Amino acid sequence: MNRTKDTARFARIADKVRANEALDADDGLFLYTYPDLLAVGALANERREALHGDKTFFNVNFHINPTNVCVADCKFCSFARLEPDAPAAYTMSIDEVKQKLLDRMDQPVTEIHIVNGLHHHLPLDYYKDCLRELKALRPDIHLKAYTAVEIHYFAEKYGMSYTQVLSELKEAGLDSMPGGGAEIFAERARRKLCRGKADADEWLAVHRAAHELGIRTNCTMLYGTVETLEERIDHMLRLRDLQAETGGFQTFIPLAFHADNNSLQKLPPPTGVDNLRTYAVSRLMLHNIAHIKAYWIMIGIKTAQISLSFGVDDLDGTVQEEKIYHMAGAETPQALSRVDLVRLIREAGRVAVERDTLYNERWTDDGEALDGIRIDASLPYSTQGQGVRLNVL
């Protein structure tokens, strides 16, 4: 590569970004391969700060997966069971679903995230009842439910249009939709990964229908499997085009593939630099999608913290009120306490904001002492932690 030429090209891309112009596929690929990772990161950070300043969002939700029985057999999936009677296969009764919420009635949860496998013979009413009963218990709680893959499956199975399915679910209490099931759109990769589930056009059509009904959605990309960099960029561009049409996406969530317990175990997982690069490129390519979210459970809290300087403005993962984890631990915990999450955001020089599903701000970190500890990002480093010197030694 010619260094001077590259630098000039990077500068042209930076100009486009600053003018909020759409980048093209070549720009995206160039950013993915430009040797100066931090320059790409800094540009994404500039964009992130222009959109959100130092705000770093999180929300407090919990997940319900009413069934893990699924007719599809996606290669990367360690959740689904093919048959209802397979070992470890389960399907909850509506009462069991309700119990999940009843167990948490006193917790300040603002959202329930519900996704399922594609069950062989559950009726649509089952899915509607789930929503209705949960709403009845806590009308204030936001129901973010069912991926486009499920909606597509329902539509085919019950002979309905996407709009019909979605309207009925909305009527039953559906507030918004998660972004799952997008995986990677490119046909070649998709065939290898998840033959038989909603294809790219179908996935996008479901979201289009949802947006038209006023249902906001998220979108995802699974990376680090068999796809090429071109295919990642292509994925982003297809999302961007739909967004230009409808404006209904809130957040893009790149999902690093993890070879836990599935048939792709031999692939090396995407690692630090690839993860950061993907966040940064997403932030730059998806100029019309407001938020970029990182799942710290997948990439580890350390990389997640660094990602806040590479375009990410939203952190996701289980947040608990009580203290369960010490920052110095090496392994990624299953959940973070609110205090630890806010602290890690502060340490990165950002301001934590608790949001609801639609990004209404519920609480903003005012720098008050957490757990007796004050880490104030606006102060120079030399004064950090001084408030606690006396009582710890």
Partner 1 sequence: MTTETTPSQPSPTTLRVQAVSFLNARPLIHTLLDPKHAPRHADGTPMFEVVEALPSRCADALAAGECDLALVPVGAYADHPEWEVVPGVGIGCRGAVDTVVVCSRWPIEEVERVYLDGASRSSILLLKVLLHEAGLSPELVPVDHGVGEGLVADASTDGSGPKVAALIIGDAAFGVAGRFEHVWDLGTKWFERTGLPMVFAFWAARPGVLTPAHVTALQKARDRSLGKYAEAIAKHYRDELLASGEPGAAQALSEQAYATYLRKTIRYGLETQQREGLVEYLDRAREAELIDIPGLHPEDPVHIHFAGEAAPEVLVAARRRRSSRSPLDVDAILARAAAGERIDLAEGIYLYENAELMALGEAADQRRAQLHPEPIVTYIIDRNVNYTNYCVTRCKFCNFYVPPTDKQGRGYVLSKEQLAKKFRETEALGGIQILLQGGLNPELGLDYYEDLFRWTKQNFTLKLHALSPTEIIHIAQIEELSVEEVLRRLQAAGMDSLPGGGAEILDDEIRARISPFKNSTAEWLEVMRAAHGLGMRSSATMVFGFQETAEHILMHLERLRSLQDETGGFTAFITWPFQADGTRLKLRDDTSAFRYLRVQAVARLYLDNIDNIQVSWPTLGPEIGEIALRFGANDFGSVMIEENVVSTAGAHFMMTAKEIESHIRLAGFEPQRRTMQYGRVEAS
Q: Which residues are annotated as a binding site for S-adenosyl-L-methionine?
A: 76, 183
What is the C-alpha to C-alpha distance for residues 358 and 353, in angstroms, rounded to an integer?
13
What is the C-alpha to C-alpha distance for residues 107 and 124, in angstroms, rounded to an integer?
30
Name 145's bridge partners: 114
Picking from 134, 151, 26, 107, the residue whose alpha carbon sits closest to that of residue 321 is: 107
259 binds ligand SF4 (CB under 6 A): no
Closer residue to partner 1 (CB): 164 or 384: 384
Q: Pick from partner 1, ligand SF4, none: which does 194 bind, CB < 5 to 8 A by kind?
A: ligand SF4
The only residue of 149, 215, 219, 312 in contact with ligand SF4, by rule CB under 6 A = 149
248 binds ligand SF4 (CB under 6 A): no
What is the C-alpha to C-alpha distance for residues 125 and 67, in angstroms, rounded to an integer?
14
- DSSP structure string for 120-167: SS--HHHHHHHHHHHHHH-TTSEEEE--HHHHHHHHHHHT--HHHHHH
Q: Which two tokens stand for residue 290?
A: 């407001």
90 binds ligand SF4 (CB under 6 A): no
255 binds partner 1 (CB under 8 A): no
CA-angle at 363, arms to 357 and 365, nearest 5°: 125
233 binds ligand SF4 (CB under 6 A): no
Residues 13-52 that bind partner 1 (CB under 8 A): 35-39, 41-42, 45
Q: What is the DSSP letter of 21?
A: P
56 binds partner 1 (CB under 8 A): no
Residue at 47: amino acid letter: R
157-196 footprint of ligand SF4 as x/- string (CB under 6 A): -------------------------------------x--
The only residue of 189, 306, 336, 342 in contact with partner 1, by rule CB under 8 A = 306
- In the numeric block, the tokens 């539509």 are attached to 155
Cα→Cα distances 142→63, 105, 200, 222, 336, Å: 12, 14, 27, 25, 22
360 binds partner 1 (CB under 8 A): no
197 binds ligand SF4 (CB under 6 A): yes
Q: Pick from partner 1, ligand SF4, none: which does 66 bind, CB < 5 to 8 A by kind?
A: none
Least gap, CB of 45 to partner 1 (angstroms): 6
Least gap, CB of 273 to partner 1 (angstroms): 5
CA-angle at 39, arms to 36 and 45, nearest 5°: 145
Count of residues that interact with ligand SF4, criterion CB under 6 A:
12
Let me know: does 208 contact 245? Beta carbons within 8 Å.
Answer: yes
Residue at 76: amino acid letter: F
**Residue 55, SS3?**
strand
Closer residue to ligand SF4 (CB): 118 or 336: 118
Binding site for partner 1 (CB under 8 A): 35-39, 41-42, 45, 268, 271-276, 299-300, 302-303, 305-306, 309, 326-331, 344, 347-349, 371-373, 375, 380-386, 388-390, 392-393
